[in-house]
Protein backbone atom coordinates (compact mmCIF):
# COMPACT_ATOMS: atom_id res chain seq x y z
CA UNK A 1 0.00 0.00 0.00
CA UNK A 2 2.98 2.30 0.54
CA UNK A 3 3.21 3.29 -3.12
CA UNK A 4 -0.38 4.57 -3.21
CA UNK A 5 -0.79 8.30 -2.80
CA UNK A 6 -3.84 8.32 -0.54
CA UNK A 7 -3.96 4.93 1.09
CA UNK A 8 -7.08 3.73 2.82
CA UNK A 9 -6.55 4.09 6.56
CA UNK A 10 -9.84 3.03 8.09
CA UNK A 11 -12.96 1.16 7.06
CA UNK A 12 -16.29 0.99 8.86
CA UNK A 13 -18.41 -1.92 7.77
CA UNK A 14 -22.12 -1.96 8.48
CA UNK A 15 -23.81 -5.35 8.38
CA UNK A 16 -27.60 -5.08 8.34
CA UNK A 17 -28.44 -8.62 7.21
CA UNK A 18 -28.40 -11.93 8.97
CA UNK A 19 -28.01 -14.40 6.13
CA UNK A 20 -24.84 -16.38 5.76
CA UNK A 21 -23.53 -14.78 2.59
CA UNK A 22 -23.97 -11.16 3.63
CA UNK A 23 -22.52 -11.71 7.08
CA UNK A 24 -19.49 -13.41 5.56
CA UNK A 25 -19.07 -10.62 3.03
CA UNK A 26 -18.85 -8.18 5.94
CA UNK A 27 -16.50 -10.43 7.92
CA UNK A 28 -14.15 -11.02 4.99
CA UNK A 29 -14.02 -7.28 4.32
CA UNK A 30 -13.24 -6.46 7.95
CA UNK A 31 -10.69 -9.22 8.40
CA UNK A 32 -9.10 -8.40 5.06
CA UNK A 33 -8.68 -4.79 6.16
CA UNK A 34 -7.05 -5.77 9.45
CA UNK A 35 -4.74 -8.15 7.57
CA UNK A 36 -3.60 -5.25 5.39
CA UNK A 37 -2.92 -3.04 8.36
CA UNK A 38 -6.08 -0.96 7.82
CA UNK A 39 -8.09 -0.02 10.90
CA UNK A 40 -11.46 -1.78 10.81
CA UNK A 41 -14.68 -1.34 12.75
CA UNK A 42 -17.85 -3.38 12.31
CA UNK A 43 -21.35 -2.17 13.11
CA UNK A 44 -24.10 -4.78 13.23
CA UNK A 45 -27.70 -3.65 12.95
CA UNK A 46 -31.17 -5.12 12.38
CA UNK A 47 -30.99 -8.76 11.30
CA UNK A 48 -27.23 -8.42 11.22
CA UNK A 49 -27.39 -8.73 15.00
CA UNK A 50 -27.89 -12.48 14.47
CA UNK A 51 -24.20 -12.65 13.56
CA UNK A 52 -23.08 -11.41 16.97
CA UNK A 53 -25.82 -12.96 19.13
CA UNK A 54 -24.47 -16.01 20.97
CA UNK A 55 -27.59 -18.09 20.27
CA UNK A 56 -27.68 -17.57 16.53
CA UNK A 57 -24.19 -16.67 15.33
CA UNK A 58 -22.93 -20.12 14.43
CA UNK A 59 -26.05 -21.36 12.68
CA UNK A 60 -26.71 -18.63 10.12
CA UNK A 61 -28.71 -19.63 7.07
CA UNK A 62 -28.70 -18.84 3.42
CA UNK A 63 -32.14 -18.40 1.82
CA UNK A 64 -33.32 -21.36 -0.25
CA UNK A 65 -36.59 -19.61 -1.11
CA UNK A 66 -36.56 -16.49 -3.24
CA UNK A 67 -32.88 -16.86 -4.03
CA UNK A 68 -32.54 -17.08 -7.83
CA UNK A 69 -28.81 -17.84 -7.62
CA UNK A 70 -29.42 -21.03 -5.62
CA UNK A 71 -28.26 -24.16 -7.50
CA UNK A 72 -28.30 -27.87 -6.82
CA UNK A 73 -24.90 -29.54 -6.47
CA UNK A 74 -23.99 -30.01 -10.14
CA UNK A 75 -25.45 -26.70 -11.26
CA UNK A 76 -29.14 -27.43 -11.98
CA UNK A 77 -31.58 -24.75 -10.80
CA UNK A 78 -32.87 -25.24 -7.27
CA UNK A 79 -36.71 -25.40 -7.28
CA UNK A 80 -38.15 -22.80 -4.93
CA UNK A 81 -40.80 -25.26 -3.70
CA UNK A 82 -38.06 -27.68 -2.66
CA UNK A 83 -36.40 -24.90 -0.72
CA UNK A 84 -39.63 -24.39 1.20
CA UNK A 85 -39.63 -27.93 2.64
CA UNK A 86 -38.80 -28.20 6.34
CA UNK A 87 -35.12 -28.79 6.97
CA UNK A 88 -33.96 -28.01 3.45
CA UNK A 89 -32.69 -24.52 4.26
CA UNK A 90 -30.87 -25.81 7.36
CA UNK A 91 -29.32 -28.64 5.33
CA UNK A 92 -28.20 -26.41 2.49
CA UNK A 93 -26.78 -23.89 4.97
CA UNK A 94 -24.88 -26.58 6.86
CA UNK A 95 -23.48 -27.85 3.55
CA UNK A 96 -22.38 -24.35 2.65
CA UNK A 97 -20.68 -23.87 6.00
CA UNK A 98 -18.77 -27.12 5.57
CA UNK A 99 -17.64 -26.02 2.10
CA UNK A 100 -16.34 -22.79 3.59
CA UNK A 101 -14.52 -24.67 6.31
CA UNK A 102 -12.61 -26.55 3.61
CA UNK A 103 -11.38 -23.22 2.25
CA UNK A 104 -10.14 -22.32 5.72
CA UNK A 105 -12.95 -19.78 6.18
CA UNK A 106 -13.64 -19.90 9.91
CA UNK A 107 -17.02 -20.05 11.68
CA UNK A 108 -18.50 -16.66 12.59
CA UNK A 109 -17.33 -16.69 16.20
CA UNK A 110 -13.75 -17.55 15.25
CA UNK A 111 -13.79 -14.97 12.44
CA UNK A 112 -14.77 -12.27 14.95
CA UNK A 113 -11.98 -13.46 17.25
CA UNK A 114 -9.51 -13.11 14.37
CA UNK A 115 -10.72 -9.60 13.58
CA UNK A 116 -10.51 -8.40 17.18
CA UNK A 117 -7.15 -10.15 17.69
CA UNK A 118 -5.88 -7.99 14.84
CA UNK A 119 -7.16 -4.82 16.49
CA UNK A 120 -10.55 -4.59 14.77
CA UNK A 121 -13.59 -3.54 16.78
CA UNK A 122 -17.14 -4.85 16.75
CA UNK A 123 -20.22 -2.83 17.73
CA UNK A 124 -23.95 -3.47 17.98
CA UNK A 125 -26.59 -0.91 17.00
CA UNK A 126 -28.50 0.41 20.00
CA UNK A 127 -31.79 0.94 18.21
CA UNK A 128 -31.83 -2.57 16.75
CA UNK A 129 -30.72 -4.12 20.04
CA UNK A 130 -33.60 -2.35 21.80
CA UNK A 131 -36.00 -3.48 19.11
CA UNK A 132 -34.99 -7.15 19.37
CA UNK A 133 -34.71 -6.86 23.17
CA UNK A 134 -31.06 -7.87 23.17
CA UNK A 135 -28.59 -6.86 25.88
CA UNK A 136 -24.80 -6.78 26.06
CA UNK A 137 -24.77 -10.25 27.66
CA UNK A 138 -26.70 -11.72 24.72
CA UNK A 139 -23.87 -10.76 22.42
CA UNK A 140 -20.58 -12.56 21.93
CA UNK A 141 -17.69 -11.08 23.94
CA UNK A 142 -16.01 -9.68 20.81
CA UNK A 143 -18.71 -6.99 20.80
CA UNK A 144 -17.11 -4.10 22.63
CA UNK A 145 -20.15 -1.84 22.92
CA UNK A 146 -23.72 -1.06 21.92
CA UNK A 147 -23.67 2.34 20.25
CA UNK A 148 -25.99 4.88 18.64
CA UNK A 149 -25.80 6.05 15.06
CA UNK A 150 -24.22 9.27 16.31
CA UNK A 151 -21.44 7.41 18.07
CA UNK A 152 -20.96 5.38 14.91
CA UNK A 153 -20.42 8.55 12.88
CA UNK A 154 -17.93 9.81 15.47
CA UNK A 155 -15.90 6.71 14.77
CA UNK A 156 -15.88 7.59 11.07
CA UNK A 157 -13.75 10.68 11.70
CA UNK A 158 -10.40 11.09 9.99
CA UNK A 159 -8.73 10.99 6.59
CA UNK A 160 -8.73 8.00 4.27
CA UNK A 161 -11.92 6.56 5.73
CA UNK A 162 -14.57 4.53 3.90
CA UNK A 163 -17.94 3.29 5.06
CA UNK A 164 -19.21 0.07 3.52
CA UNK A 165 -22.82 -1.08 3.85
CA UNK A 166 -23.60 -4.76 3.55
CA UNK B 1 12.93 -9.35 -12.76
CA UNK B 2 14.91 -7.11 -10.46
CA UNK B 3 17.83 -7.96 -8.27
CA UNK B 4 18.70 -6.43 -4.96
CA UNK B 5 21.63 -6.70 -2.60
CA UNK B 6 20.40 -7.57 0.89
CA UNK B 7 22.89 -8.27 3.67
CA UNK B 8 25.64 -8.63 1.09
CA UNK B 9 23.80 -11.20 -1.01
CA UNK B 10 22.36 -10.50 -4.45
CA UNK B 11 18.82 -11.87 -4.48
CA UNK B 12 15.99 -11.86 -7.00
CA UNK B 13 13.01 -9.74 -5.99
CA UNK B 14 9.73 -8.72 -7.60
CA UNK B 15 8.61 -5.09 -8.01
CA UNK B 16 7.24 -5.04 -4.45
CA UNK B 17 10.48 -6.30 -2.98
CA UNK B 18 9.35 -9.87 -2.26
CA UNK B 19 12.07 -12.44 -2.89
CA UNK B 20 11.17 -14.73 -5.76
CA UNK B 21 13.67 -17.49 -4.96
CA UNK B 22 13.23 -18.63 -1.35
CA UNK B 23 16.40 -20.70 -1.53
CA UNK B 24 18.46 -17.48 -1.62
CA UNK B 25 17.16 -16.54 1.82
CA UNK B 26 19.16 -16.61 5.04
CA UNK B 27 18.77 -15.22 8.56
CA UNK B 28 20.92 -12.15 7.86
CA UNK B 29 18.65 -11.24 4.95
CA UNK B 30 15.65 -11.60 7.25
CA UNK B 31 17.21 -9.25 9.79
CA UNK B 32 17.88 -6.67 7.04
CA UNK B 33 14.35 -6.78 5.60
CA UNK B 34 12.84 -6.65 9.10
CA UNK B 35 14.71 -3.39 9.74
CA UNK B 36 12.64 -1.75 6.97
CA UNK B 37 9.61 -2.43 9.18
CA UNK B 38 11.40 -1.44 12.40
CA UNK B 39 11.17 -5.00 13.63
CA UNK B 40 14.01 -6.54 15.63
CA UNK B 41 13.78 -10.26 15.05
CA UNK B 42 13.62 -12.56 18.06
CA UNK B 43 13.61 -16.37 18.25
CA UNK B 44 9.83 -16.21 18.22
CA UNK B 45 9.91 -14.26 14.95
CA UNK B 46 12.27 -16.82 13.44
CA UNK B 47 10.05 -19.70 14.57
CA UNK B 48 7.16 -18.09 12.66
CA UNK B 49 9.35 -17.40 9.62
CA UNK B 50 10.54 -21.02 9.51
CA UNK B 51 6.94 -22.22 9.80
CA UNK B 52 5.84 -19.99 6.91
CA UNK B 53 8.72 -21.15 4.75
CA UNK B 54 7.98 -24.80 5.46
CA UNK B 55 4.30 -24.41 4.60
CA UNK B 56 5.02 -22.54 1.39
CA UNK B 57 7.70 -25.04 0.31
CA UNK B 58 5.10 -27.76 0.92
CA UNK B 59 2.88 -25.95 -1.58
CA UNK B 60 0.30 -24.71 0.91
CA UNK B 61 -1.47 -21.36 0.73
CA UNK B 62 -0.86 -19.30 3.85
CA UNK B 63 -3.68 -17.89 5.90
CA UNK B 64 -3.66 -16.00 9.18
CA UNK B 65 -5.83 -18.76 10.62
CA UNK B 66 -3.24 -21.43 9.80
CA UNK B 67 -0.49 -19.42 11.45
CA UNK B 68 -2.79 -19.02 14.45
CA UNK B 69 -3.20 -22.78 14.74
CA UNK B 70 0.51 -23.50 14.19
CA UNK B 71 1.18 -23.83 17.91
CA UNK B 72 3.92 -21.19 17.61
CA UNK B 73 1.85 -18.05 18.05
CA UNK B 74 -1.82 -17.23 18.37
CA UNK B 75 -3.34 -14.68 16.02
CA UNK B 76 -2.99 -11.80 18.46
CA UNK B 77 0.72 -12.51 18.97
CA UNK B 78 1.18 -12.80 15.22
CA UNK B 79 -0.23 -9.27 14.78
CA UNK B 80 2.04 -8.03 17.57
CA UNK B 81 5.17 -9.63 16.11
CA UNK B 82 4.59 -8.25 12.61
CA UNK B 83 2.55 -5.05 12.91
CA UNK B 84 0.87 -3.44 9.91
CA UNK B 85 -0.23 -6.54 8.01
CA UNK B 86 1.29 -9.65 9.59
CA UNK B 87 0.99 -12.10 6.71
CA UNK B 88 2.39 -9.69 4.13
CA UNK B 89 5.18 -8.42 6.33
CA UNK B 90 6.24 -11.82 7.64
CA UNK B 91 6.20 -13.33 4.16
CA UNK B 92 8.47 -10.59 2.90
CA UNK B 93 10.89 -11.13 5.76
CA UNK B 94 10.69 -14.91 5.25
CA UNK B 95 11.82 -14.50 1.65
CA UNK B 96 8.69 -16.03 0.19
CA UNK B 97 6.01 -14.86 -2.23
CA UNK B 98 3.41 -12.31 -1.23
CA UNK B 99 0.42 -14.32 0.03
CA UNK B 100 -2.68 -14.16 -2.14
CA UNK B 101 -5.10 -15.33 0.52
CA UNK B 102 -8.34 -13.49 1.33
CA UNK B 103 -8.59 -14.91 4.83
Establish if A156 touches chain B: CB-CB under 8 angstroms.
Answer: no
Pick A117's closest partner by Cβ from B63, B75, B83.
B75
Kindly state whether residues A54 and A65 are assigned to the same domain.
no
In this prediction, residues B16-31 reach a mean pLDDT of 95
Average pLDDT rounded to a whole number, residues B52-77: 94
Question: What pLDDT is stored for residue B12 in this prediction?
Answer: 95
**A14 and A76 share a domain?**
no
pLDDT value at residue A4:
67
Phi, psi values for residue A122, rounded to 5°: -125, 130
**CB-CB under 8 Å, B85 with A37:** yes
Q: Are A88 and A117 contained in the same domain?
A: no
pLDDT higher than 80, residue A1: no
3-state secondary structure of B97: coil
Q: Which of B64, B74, B76 sits opposite A35 (nearest CB)?
A: B64
* A114-140 pLDDT, tens digit each: 999 999 999 999 999 999 999 999 999
Residue A1 lies in a domain: no
Mean pLDDT, rounded, for B95-100: 93
Number of domains in chain A: 2
Q: Do A54 and A117 reside in the same domain of the chain?
A: yes
The pTM (predicted TM-score) of the whole model is 0.92
Q: Does A124 lie in the same domain as A45?
A: yes
Task: Indicate whether A101 and A119 sit together in one domain.
Answer: no
Q: Where along chain B do its domains lie?
A: 2-93
Query: Which of residues 22 through 61 in chain A touch B, CB cutoff 8 A?
Result: 28, 31-32, 34-37
The pLDDT value given to residue A5: 80
The partner residues of B5 in beta bridges, in order of sequence, read B10
Provide, as residue numbers in chain A, all residues whose Cβ is less than 8 Å from the Cβ of B86: 35, 118
Same domain, A49 and A71: no
The DSSP call for residue A52 is: T
Question: Sorting pLDDT into bands at 50, 70 and 90, what band is A103?
Answer: confident
CATH number for the domain spanning A150: value is 3.40.1260.10
Are A77 and A50 in a shared domain?
no
Residue-level pLDDT at A2? 52
Predicted confidence at residue A138, as pLDDT, reads 98
A166 and A112, same structural domain? yes
pLDDT mean across residues, chain B = 94
Torsion-angle region of A70 (φ positive above 0: left; ψ -120 to 50: alpha; else: beta): beta
Q: Model confidence over A139-163: pLDDT tens digits? A: 999 999 999 999 999 999 999 999 9
pLDDT of A91 > 60? The answer is: yes
Task: Report percent pLDDT > 90 for chain A.
Answer: 82
Our answer to whether residue B58 is catalytic in this structure is no
Residue A15 counted as domain residue: yes
The answer to the question of residue A2 being in a domain is no
pLDDT higher than threshold 90 for residue A53: yes
The interface predicted TM-score (ipTM) is 0.89
pLDDT, position A145: 97
Same domain, A53 and A114: yes
Residues A68 and A127 occupy one common structural domain: no
If asked whether residues A41 and A70 sit together in one domain, one would say: no
Within-domain flag for A80: yes
Q: What are phi and psi of A157, to 5 degrees?
A: -65, 150
How is residue B84 annotated by DSSP? S
> Would an 8 Å CB–CB cutoff place B85 in contact with chain A?
yes
**Contact between residue B19 and residue B95 where contact means Cβ atoms under 8 Å apart:** yes
Provide the pLDDT for residue A22. Answer: 97
Domain residues for the domain of A162 are: 7-58+107-166
Task: Establish if A141 belongs to a structural domain.
Answer: yes
- H/E stretch holding A161: strand A161-165
Amino acid sequence: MSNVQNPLKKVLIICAKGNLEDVYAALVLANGAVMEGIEAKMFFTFFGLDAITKKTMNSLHTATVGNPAMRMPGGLPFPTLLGALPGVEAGVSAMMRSQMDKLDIPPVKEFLEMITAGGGEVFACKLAADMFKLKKEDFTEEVSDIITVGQFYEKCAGEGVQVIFV
Amino acid sequence: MAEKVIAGVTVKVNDEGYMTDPSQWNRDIAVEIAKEYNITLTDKHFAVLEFLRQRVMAGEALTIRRVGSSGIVDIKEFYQLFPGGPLKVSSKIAGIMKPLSCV
